[in-house]
Structure 1
Amino acid sequence: MTYEEHLDEVTTLITEKYDVADQAAIKMVMRAQADDFFSGHDDNPAICTLDRAHLDARAVYRKYR
């Protein structure tokens, strides 16, 4: 998946797994992106996988909730 698709998937997983409203999940992902949490993903699209999206969703939720 592309970098943008990965961010969308992480956002969706946060809403589904942690019962977070869409806008709140978007804000979490945007904050993580601003903190360069996803900088490696943009440089190496090969790590933009569904398995990685699950790991990223958990990490972003824990850090930015």
Structure 2
Amino acid sequence: MAESETPEAMPKRFWAQHKTELLRGEDIKLVSREVGRTAAKLSRWKEAFLAVGEQTMEIKLL
């Protein structure tokens, strides 16, 4: 972070903390406001993440 940038001035990003919150059941609308992304976009990310995890588990169990 440059010296002139403050946390308030930096663009909001979808950090690992936010991803973990979603996966643990945090209210999607709350996380959406925190990161400045639509709830629909976060929901699509969560569903894709879970689908890949499920596929990976199936492969490892074979």
The interval holding the TM-score normalised by the smaller chain is: 0.3 to 0.5
Q: TM-score, structure 1 length as denominator?
A: 0.36
Higher Rg of the two aligned structures: 2
